[in-house]
Chain A
Amino acid sequence: MLRFRTVWMGGLAVCVLGSAVAAWGANDDMANIIKYRQGLMKANAEHARDIGMILKGEVPFDARHIMEHAEAINAMSKLIIQCFPKGSGSAAGKTRAKDDIWTHWDKFMADAVALQTESAKLIEITKTGNMSEITTQMAIVGNNSCGDCHDDFRQHE
């Protein structure tokens, strides 16, 4: 009986200590998550910028290049939701992500899914090579998908 109690108490102690350590480590984890997703967002912005350079005629590349950039944005868009675990808001580090993300999670998810859908359409449209249609779809990806989410969930500068 006594042995069982000791084991039980010991187990409890390990649990308490373990979760304290985990909680302490979590803040670091969250700071890393913020750093990681900022990289992901920056990558998306760079791809969007390059698409813009092509559409503006600043570089001599064509729709095939735009397609590859669109593929990259589409791939990144599938990772966004995972990059915003609860607790990765401004309390965990330097981020413009608003806490509204976790109070309006359904809207946030819908926005992330919209970016997946619209960037997939962009890939398809690049195959037509029609620059004016590509530009119109880029406006939907940039202004409506990225912009809609940033409007609600990214802090003003």
Chain B
Amino acid sequence: MPERWSPQAVPRAMWPLALVAALIALAPVPAMPAAAEVAVGSAERGAYVFAAAGCAECHTAKGGKPLAGGRPLKTPFGTYYSPNITPDPATGIGKWSEGDLERALREGIGPDGTHFFPVFPYPSFTFMTDADIRDLYAYLKSVPPVVQANRRHDVDFPFGFRLLMLGWNRLFLKRGPLVPDADRSAEWNRGAYLVRALGHCGECHTPRGVLGQLKLAAALSGSAAGPEGGTVPNLTPDKETGIGSWSEKDITYLLETGQTPDGDDVGDGMRAVVDAGTSKLTPSDRTAIAVYLKSLPPIRHQLRKPKATD
């Protein structure tokens, strides 16, 4: 019968030594090895995360300096203006710590405790991995700082009250990171991550409820109220109203070239998504997205009538 360790098993003379050993064991992670193990983000990998997450599109105004914000984002609640995310300490996010960025992405809360509005897609970014957040932070630190003050949102009463978001988050925010589905392939899980977390595809392609929350039961089945005023297509594999007739290659080719299977350009908001985002992904990431989309349950959701050319 193996002898279990107990205080009685330690000779009285050994007590001080045991105490020291116990203290070392219980101490919060010792300082020395930790210094070598602290993960440092890579700006190079962060640039990839940044492209996949499409940050530049909303955080750059038309004709404005990159990432200095000021792009108007029209919603049913009014017009929000994207903030400056360059590392300028006064007008950008130069003073933010990595933890600040993580909190913003995961909870939608700024360093001073203010709540962001979900026009910033933190309900999707909350699913990001720690490693991607770390790399993104390193990348954002590396871009040229721009001095440009943020513009005030121009929204209807009472949607300008940030504290309302406390309730909204309680109701609708499902905190990440995303838990991989062990029953699916690594490729499928990568696709799910790119679509649901980084790519935040559902922010435009999922219909919203009256409070602006995503109707997740109808995820990716398209939306009648797109960010640019038009409709946003159904991405589920429904044969008639979705992209059920598309092959995996039709999807990857669109993500790479912006061309639909009928030879039209994808257009509207998706054009910039392809240009700055999906065309920059590795071919295997584009395939992962296609594999994930093809695996979705088909949802019938008619959004637009058959189209005319010109």
Contacts and interface: CB of A to CB of B under 8 A. Distances in A.
A59 B247 CA distance: 14
A89 to B, nearest CB: 11
Contacts of B258: 139, 142-143, 147
Nearest to B230: A156
A26 interface: no
A55 B253 contact: yes
A151 B271 contact: yes
Contact of B268 (A52, A58, A156): A156
Contacts of B262: 45, 49
Interface in B256-282: 256-259, 261-268, 271, 274-275, 279
A94 interface: yes
Contacts of B151: none
Interface residues of A, number: 35
A143 B266 contact: yes
Contacts of A95: 310
B263 A52 contact: yes
A90 to B, nearest CB: 11
A50 B261 CA distance: 9
A46 B263 contact: yes
A70 interface: no
B265 A146 contact: yes
Contacts of A65: none
A94 B308 contact: yes
A42 interface: yes
B310 A143 contact: no
A147 B271 contact: yes
B268 A151 contact: yes
Contact of A143 (B230, B247, B249, B275): B275
Contacts, number: 88
B102 to A, nearest CB: 33
A62 B35 CA distance: 56
Interface in B272-309: 274-275, 279, 304-305, 307-309
A138 B257 contact: yes
Contacts of A52: 253, 257, 259, 261, 263
Nearest to B306: A157
B309 A139 contact: no
A66 interface: no
A138 B259 contact: yes
A56 B308 CA distance: 25
B88 interface: no
A10 B262 CA distance: 57
Interface of B: 228-231, 247, 249-250, 253, 256-259, 261-268, 271, 274-275, 279, 304-305, 307-310
20 contacts: A38-B310, A41-B309, A48-B259, A49-B259, A49-B262, A52-B261, A52-B263, A58-B249, A95-B310, A96-B308, A138-B257, A142-B257, A142-B258, A143-B271, A143-B275, A147-B265, A147-B266, A148-B271, A151-B267, A156-B228
Interface of A: 34, 37-38, 41-42, 44-50, 52, 55-58, 94-97, 135, 138-139, 142-144, 146-148, 150-151, 154, 156-157
Given A147-B271, A157-B304, 12 more contacts: A34-B310, A44-B263, A56-B250, A56-B253, A57-B249, A139-B257, A139-B274, A142-B265, A143-B274, A151-B267, A156-B268, A157-B305
Closest 6 A/B residue pairs (Cβ): A143-B258, A49-B263, A156-B230, A45-B263, A147-B265, A48-B263
